[in-house]
A = this chain, B = another copy of it.
Amino acid sequence: MSTHPVPIQDWLDQLQASGYRLTAPRRAIVELLVESNHALSPIDVYDLGRRDHPGLGLVTVYRTLERLEELGLVQRVHLPDGCHRYLRAAQGHQHLLLCTRCGQVEVFSGDDLNPLSERVEHATGYTIQDHWLQLFGVCPRCAIA
C-alpha cells in the first residue's frame, strides 16, 4: 500500500539545508526509516541499518534519530511496554494504531481533538500543548501466528 509516500531525497535535502552533512550512515538510516511502516527501536534501526552499512555504530543511530526528530521528520512513539520507538512523522490530525506484537503502524484521521482540548483547557486552567490518541491491537498478519 504505502511504499514511498515521502521521497528519501526530501529528507536528505532537509538535513543538508539545516546545515547537517550527508554521510553514508545517515543515508542508510534515512532510507530504512522512510521505507518502514513499523515503529522501530534504536536497536531495530541499528540492525536494519547494518545490512546496508555494516560499519554502522549504535551511537550514530541515536544521534541521527535525535536530529531527524528535531527536524520533525520522525516522531517518537510510546508503546504500553517499551518506549522510545521511532516512526516517520504523521502529518495533520493523524492518529496511530500500533500492533503490539510487530510494531506495524496504521494511521487514521479520526476526530479533531481541538474542541475537546479547548473544553478541558477551560475546565482545568491548564495550557494544553500536546495530545496523544493512540490505539493498540494486533495486526491481521500477527493474528494468524
Q: Which residues of A are interface residues toward B (Cβ below 8 A)?
A: 76, 78, 80, 83-84, 97, 99-100, 106, 108, 110-111, 113, 116-117, 120-121, 123-140, 143
Ordered by A's residue number, 5 sampled pairs between the chains whose C-beta atoms are within 8 Å are: A83-B84, A97-B120, A117-B135, A121-B137, A128-B137
Nearest CB in chain B: distance from A64 CB, A: 19
B residues near A120, Cβ cutoff 8 Å? 97, 106, 108, 110, 135
Nearest-neighbor residue (CB-CB) of A140 within chain B: B125
**In the complex, A140→B135 CA distance in Å?**
30
If A78-B83, A120-B97, A123-B108 touch, does A133 touch B133 (CB 8 Å cutoff)? yes
